[in-house]
């Protein structure tokens, strides 16, 4: 295929600015990303690269806007697209009252297929080109999502939830069935195109010892796969888990016992951890997923980023939406809420660090930093174009940034959301362009 060039203000990271300083950010004010056969073949100064393009190369001109690697969401539940914004409950009650009833509907493959398509549209509208996704207990829910992601040529990691207790009968598997279904899905989908499988015991509160053992076994038997679960999210959840595993001194010890801590294991939330739990996460290279909008919405608690950066036991970190406990699909809005969660604890999160996390940082958390997360030759050409003047209020505030890129990025994390996503590219092809104006809802209903 002939090359395509995408022109704009390029921004990406060669390293973590928290460690390497501002020089880790590489910005080219008038730059071009040249894409061929789905990969980046060159990225740099437009003045230089324009001369090298074959005649007739199509150029998408986004000058005045930022071109970055596609955003990465490391923890999100696609069956919860209708659970988002459910009123008035904390985690365990929220699961029972809203989430479990909705997830039972995914026994129907047609329902799953429709929700999968909606979900992926929504990710792309928000500039998210890679996500790590919880499906439901039904293998068909994962089938539906993988099929839809394959059709769109996405890089996506997903897994069927394993849960064999403390949920309605329509949402339970068994240790044996959960193992067999996960293994069949791994055989069918892991490593196919850009798809990957993540072994997904929902959380220790909904899995028996036998099932956690099976999950640990799957992780060991399929070292290219990932594992995801929830850990130390809310006080009520922690008490329930410790009640179910009376031999455990901590929540983390439950997973540790079954070999679930690893460099490919992603733990949602990790809010109320004791020192020895952080130490085990650190020693095993496990990843703590910071999900700020969810933690605020469900009243779960405040993620302690500083505690993950202690030099004697650093914990790898990622950032995620956790829709539908989370309240926004936008990784920009998620970073903005993350900033506030850290403010509440007297911690800072400079915009360069937030944008690093949204791109290369999250790619590193997944061990995919050789494939996605940078604008460099050989990387997959998943891109997002961000408009820092997306709304009148943003445009007005942008004037005060006076060309300061760090301030412009901070404006984007503080005020940005899907409206700031001018375009999204998957493997070099545009898959979303922001429409000119939002459609009006037909009705907002009555007070019932």
Please report, as ranges, the residues that interact with ligand GUN according to CB under 6 A: 77, 91, 95, 99, 202-203, 230, 233, 294, 322, 325
Q: Which among 16, 84, 29, 51 is positioned nearest to 404, based on CA atoms?
A: 29
Q: How far is CA 243 from the centre of its chain?
A: 31
Is residue 304 within the footprint of Zn ion (CB under 5 A)? Answer: no
Residue 26 CB, nearest distance to ligand GUN (Å)? Answer: 35
Euclidean distance between CA atoms 261 and 258, whole angstroms: 8
Of the two residues 294 and 330, which places its CB atom closer to ligand GUN in the complex? 294
Residue nearest ligand GUN (C-beta atom):
325
- Which partner from the list Zn ion, ligand GUN, none does 102 bind, CB cut-off 5 to 8 Å by kind? none
Beta pairing partners, 319: 290
Tokens, residue 74: 């490391």
Instruction: Lay out the site mask for Zn ion across 215-244 (x = CB under 5 A, - = otherwise).
Output: ------------------------------
Cβ pair 286, 265 in contact under 8 A = yes
Q: Which stretch binds Zn ion (CB under 5 A): 94-102, 265-273, 303-311, 380-388?
A: 265-273
Residue 206 CB, nearest distance to ligand GUN (Å)? Answer: 7
Q: What are phi and psi of 11, to 5 degrees?
A: -140, 125
Of the two residues 282 and 294, which places its CB atom closer to ligand GUN in the complex? 294
Is residue 73 within the footprint of Zn ion (CB under 5 A)? Answer: no
Residue 54 CB, nearest distance to ligand GUN (Å)? Answer: 49
- Which partner from the list Zn ion, ligand GUN, none does 91 bind, CB cut-off 5 to 8 Å by kind? ligand GUN
- Which partner from the list Zn ion, ligand GUN, none does 202 bind, CB cut-off 5 to 8 Å by kind? ligand GUN
Residue 202 CB, nearest distance to ligand GUN (Å)? Answer: 5
Tokens, residue 223: 């070292």
Q: 133: buried, middle or exposed (CB in 10 Å: 19+, 13-18, 0-12)?
A: buried
Of the two residues 3 and 268, which places its CB atom closer to Zn ion in the complex? 268
Cβ pair 290, 338 in contact under 8 A = yes
Euclidean distance between CA atoms 431 and 127, whole angstroms: 10
Element (H or E) spanning 103, and its range? Answer: helix 100-104
Euclidean distance between CA atoms 11 and 29, whole angstroms: 9
Euclidean distance between CA atoms 159 and 230, whole angstroms: 14
Residue 71 CB coordination number (10 Å): 29
Residue 77 CB, nearest distance to ligand GUN (Å)? Answer: 5
Of the two residues 181 and 322, which places its CB atom closer to ligand GUN in the complex? 322
Using CB under 5 A, count the residues that bind Zn ion.
2
- Which partner from the list ligand GUN, Zn ion, none does 203 bind, CB cut-off 5 to 8 Å by kind? ligand GUN
Of the two residues 76 and 386, which places its CB atom closer to ligand GUN in the complex? 76
Instruction: Lay out the site mask for Zn ion across 23-52 (x = CB under 5 A, - = otherwise).
Output: ------------------------------
Residue 264 CB, nearest distance to ligand GUN (Å)? Answer: 20
Of the two residues 226 and 297, which places its CB atom closer to ligand GUN in the complex? 297
Residue 45 CB coordination number (10 Å): 13
Cβ pair 228, 255 in contact under 8 A = no
Under DSSP, is residue 390 helix (H, G, I), strand (E, B) or coil? Answer: coil
Q: What are phi and psi of 380, to 5 degrees?
A: -65, 140
- Which partner from the list ligand GUN, Zn ion, none does 412 bind, CB cut-off 5 to 8 Å by kind? none
Is residue 79 within the footprint of Zn ion (CB under 5 A)? Answer: no
Residue 117 CB, nearest distance to ligand GUN (Å)? Answer: 21
Q: Which among 328, 382, 345, 342 is positioned nearest to 360, based on CA atoms?
A: 382
Cβ pair 282, 315 in contact under 8 A = yes
- Which partner from the list ligand GUN, Zn ion, none does 334 bind, CB cut-off 5 to 8 Å by kind? none
Of the two residues 294 and 362, which places its CB atom closer to ligand GUN in the complex? 294
Residue 228 CB, nearest distance to ligand GUN (Å)? Answer: 11
Which residues, 6+ apart, have CB-to-CB distance to 140 below 8 Å? Answer: 106, 107, 109, 112
Q: Give CA separation, 207 vs 161, 171, 202, 348, 438, in Å.
A: 10, 12, 7, 37, 43
Q: Which of 164, 322, 382, 387 binds Zn ion (CB under 5 A)?
A: 322
User: What would you report as the CA-atom Rg of the chain, rounded to the nearest whole angstrom?
Assistant: 21
Is residue 268 within the footprint of Zn ion (CB under 5 A)? Answer: yes
Residue 207 CB, nearest distance to ligand GUN (Å)? Answer: 10
Euclidean distance between CA atoms 41 and 57, whole angstroms: 14
Q: Residue numbers of the site for Zn ion (CB under 5 A)? A: 268, 322
């Amino acid at each position: 295929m002939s090359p395509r060039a995408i022109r704009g203000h390029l921004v990406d990271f060669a390293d973590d600015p928290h460690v390497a300083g501002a020089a880790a950010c590489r910005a080219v004010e008038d730059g071009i990303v040249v894409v061929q056969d789905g990969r980046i073949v060159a990225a740099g100064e437009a003045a230089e690269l324009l001369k090298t393009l074959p005649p007739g190369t199509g150029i998408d001109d986004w000058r005045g806007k930022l071109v970055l690697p596609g955003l990465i969401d490391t923890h999100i539940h696609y069956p919860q697209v209708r659970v988002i914004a459910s009123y008035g409950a904390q985690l365990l009650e929220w699961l029972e009252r809203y989430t479990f009833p909705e997830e039972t509907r995914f026994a129907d493959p047609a329902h799953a297929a429709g929700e999968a398509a909606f979900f992926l549209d929504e990710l792309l509208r928000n500039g998210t080109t890679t996500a790590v996704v919880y499906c439901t207990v039904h293998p068909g829910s994962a089938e539906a999502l993988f099929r839809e992601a394959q059709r769109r040529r996405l890089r996506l990691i997903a897994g069927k939830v394993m849960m064999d207790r403390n949920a309605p009968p329509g949402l339970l598997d068994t240790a044996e069935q959960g193992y067999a279904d996960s293994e069949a899905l791994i055989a069918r989908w892991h490593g196919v195109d850009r798809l990957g499988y993540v072994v997904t015991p929902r959380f220790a509160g909904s899995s028996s010892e036998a099932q956690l053992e099976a999950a640990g076994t799957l992780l060991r038997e399929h070292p290219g796969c990932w594992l995801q679960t929830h850990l130390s999210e809310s006080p009520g959840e922690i008490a329930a888990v410790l009640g179910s595993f009376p031999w455990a001194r901590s929540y983390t010890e439950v997973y540790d016992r079954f070999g679930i801590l690893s460099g490919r294991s992603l733990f949602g939330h990790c809010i109320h951890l004791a020192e020895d739990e952080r130490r085990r996460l650190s020693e095993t290279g496990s990843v703590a997923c910071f999900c700020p909008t969810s933690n605020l919405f469900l009243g779960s608690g405040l993620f302690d980023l500083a505690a993950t950066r202690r030099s004697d036991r650093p914990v790898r970190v990622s950032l995620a939406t956790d829709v539908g406990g989370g309240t926004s699909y936008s990784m920009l809005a998620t970073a903005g809420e993350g900033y506030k969660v850290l403010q509440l604890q007297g911690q800072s999160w400079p915009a360069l660090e937030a944008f690093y996390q949204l791109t290369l940082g999250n790619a590193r958390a997944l061990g995919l930093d050789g494939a996605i997360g940078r604008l460099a030759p050989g990387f997959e050409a998943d891109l997002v174009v961000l408009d820092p003047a997306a709304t009148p209020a943003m445009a007005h505030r942008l004037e005060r940034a006076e060309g300061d890129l760090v301030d412009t990025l901070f404006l984007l994390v503080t005020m940005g959301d899907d409206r700031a996503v001018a375009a999204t590219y998957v493997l070099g092809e545009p898959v979303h362009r922001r429409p000119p104006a939002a459609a009006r809802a037909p009705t907002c209903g009555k007070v019932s």
